Amino acid sequence: MIDSDTRKLLRQVEHDLGAVKVEDTIRDLATELAGIFYDGNRSVKFRKAYPTLKDYMRGREHQSDGRILHRVPGWRHHVKLAREMLVRMLGMPDARVSPEMKMRIYDAIIEDRQNEHKYGGKKLVQAAS
């Protein structure tokens, strides 16, 4: 899981962008997925644009002339997949995902949907599928 400083940073970026708040469980999974994506065999161009995982998570794209552009934070590209994975977990047998875990996932999904509606249904920036 992510530490409290990283969680605080993600909330600040979310606030700065005026984006819909993503429920913590979903954000944590999206962050984990973003880390896995970053650690994968990314291209040289990608690595130059985002030299560190922290840059990718913050959306700090490094340009060849030394400028840093602020893009969509990397973890946000993985929110849709995180939601889909959690929904799939609800349909798994209790032997694989406990009823208690399913209830926590269900509550997270409901809270996330309520946040989306609460903030006027702002469109979450999502990477193209």
Task: Check residues 72 and 120 and name the one with the higher pLDDT.
Answer: 72
Residue 115 reports pLDDT greater than 90:
no
Residue 129's pLDDT band, with cuts at 50, 70 and 90, is very low
> How far is the C-alpha of 26 from the C-alpha of 105, rounded, in Å?
9
pLDDT digits (tens, 9 = 90+) for 35-74: 999 999 789 999 999 999 999 999 999 999 999 999 999 9
What residues does 69 pair with on adjacent strands? Answer: 61
Contacts of residue 29, defined as CB under 8 A and 6 or more positions apart, other chains included, come to: 78, 82, 85, 86
* Number of continuous H segments (helices) and E segments (strands) in the chain: 6, 2
Write down the pTM of the prediction: 0.73
Domain map (residue ranges) of the chain: 8-117
